[in-house]
């Protein structure tokens, strides 16, 4: 690894073992776009680095551009953490273009950036072509229901992604419906995080209906939404038929005793569910015994 900054140059020159560096953690360093440019140049030719952590490095859209360009040529990087880097739709577009040509990256973390529906559309387009990315974390961005629709389209065509995190993106019932439609056709996604997504009864119903057709999803996180007893009824009915879901989290919703009864009744017919987190009063626990 050379030319990232003078400090790294001195390390490389002094210690031979750093010439085969496989993990680089720059967590919290404010490298910004200037150093990101040098880092991108290095990645285009580097053949040893597999994990790059740039959590909170403030690289912005320009820094994302340099890394996106590098992804088109790099043949070894498998994990890229860009959590909290002020990356918006423009930066997401550059990264998406890199993903269309990259054949090694398996995990991309874009949590807590400023990616909206436009940037999400570019990432979704990349999912049409990328066959290696298995983990995509978009938690705490600005995706909302329009972006969710784009991702749903990507899920219909993608055959590699196994985990998608959309926590705290305010996708609502409309976004949940679109994602549910995507799940009907997807054959690889096993973990979907929709916690804190403002999903209510109708969104829960669409997801529940999709799970009657989906045969691969094992974990669905609906923690801290607006699901009430009506939504719990649809989820409970699904548990009667779905045989692949192992983890369903509906904690911190608005499910009362009636909803708890629906869920408990579904569990009587389902032998696969391992964990069910429900925020209810102790008065209703007898339904699960």
Where does residue 196 fall: left (phi above 0), alpha (psi -120 to 50 degrees), or beta otherwise? Answer: left
Q: Over range 219-243, report the average pLDDT.
A: 95
Instruction: Tell me the per-residue pLDDT of 36-56, one tens digit each, with 9 for 90 and over.
Output: 999 999 999 999 999 999 999
| Tokens, residue 285 | 């626990």
Instruction: Tell me the per-residue pLDDT of 59-79, one tens digit each, with 9 for 90 and over.
Output: 999 999 999 999 999 999 999
Instruction: Say if CB 157 and CB 189 are below 8 A apart.
Output: no
Q: Over range 86-100, report the average pLDDT.
A: 99
Q: Looking at residue 284, what is its pLDDT?
A: 55
Hey, where are the domains in the chain? 21-288
Q: Looking at residue 257, what is its pLDDT?
A: 86
pLDDT band of residue 256 (cuts 50, 70, 90) is confident
Backbone angles phi, psi at 213, to 5 degrees: -110, -30
Quick one: which H or E segment has residue 29? none
Instruction: Say if CB 118 and CB 148 are below 8 A apart.
Output: no
Name the CATH superfamily, with its identifier, for domain 21-288.
Answer: Ribonuclease Inhibitor (3.80.10.10)
Look at 247 and 203; give whichever has higher pLDDT. Answer: 203
Closest CA to 150 of 184, 182, 188, 197: 182
Q: Looking at residue 270, what is its pLDDT?
A: 80
Give the three-class secondary structure for 53: strand
Instruction: Tell me the per-residue pLDDT of 117-149, one tens digit each, with 9 for 90 and over.
Output: 999 999 999 999 999 999 999 999 999 999 999
Instruction: Tell me the per-residue pLDDT of 278-287, one tens digit each, with 9 for 90 and over.
Output: 555 555 555 5
Q: Looking at residue 273, what is its pLDDT?
A: 59
* Residues contacting 282, CB < 8 A, separation 6+: none
| Tokens, residue 138 | 């978009």
């Amino acid at each position: 690894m050379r030319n990232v900054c003078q400090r790294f140059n001195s390390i490389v020159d002094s210690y031979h073992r750093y010439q085969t560096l496989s993990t680089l953690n720059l967590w919290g360093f404010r490298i910004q776009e200037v150093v990101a440019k040098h880092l991108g140049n290095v990645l285009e030719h580097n053949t040893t680095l597999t994990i790059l952590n740039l959590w909170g490095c403030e690289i912005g859209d320009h820094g994302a551009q340099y890394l996106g360009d590098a992804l088109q040529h790099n043949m070894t990087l498998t994990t890229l953490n860009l959590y909290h880097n002020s990356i918006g739709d423009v930066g997401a577009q550059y990264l998406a273009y890199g993903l269309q040509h990259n054949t090694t990256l398996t995990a991309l973390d874009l949590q807590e950036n400023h990616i909206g529906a436009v940037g999400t559309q570019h990432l979704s387009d990349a999912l049409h072509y990328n066959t290696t990315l298995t983990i995509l974390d978009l938690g705490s961005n600005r995706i909302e229901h329009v972006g969710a629709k784009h991702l749903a389209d990507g899920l219909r065509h993608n055959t590699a992604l196994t985990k998608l995190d959309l926590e705290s993106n305010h996708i609502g019932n409309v976004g949940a419906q679109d994602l549910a439609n995507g799940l009907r056709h997807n054959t690889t996604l096993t973990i979907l995080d929709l916690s804190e997504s403002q999903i209510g009864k109708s969104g829960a119903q669409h997801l529940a209906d999709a799970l009657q057709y989906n045969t691969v999803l094992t974990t669905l996180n609906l923690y801290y939404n607006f699901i009430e007893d009506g939504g719990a009824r649809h989820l409970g009915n699904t548990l009667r038929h779905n045989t692949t879901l192992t983890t369903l989290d509906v904690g911190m919703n608005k499910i009362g005793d009636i909803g708890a009864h629906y869920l408990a009744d579904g569990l009587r017919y389902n032998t696969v569910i391992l964990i069910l987190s429900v925020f209810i009063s102790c008065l209703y626990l007898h339904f699960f015994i």
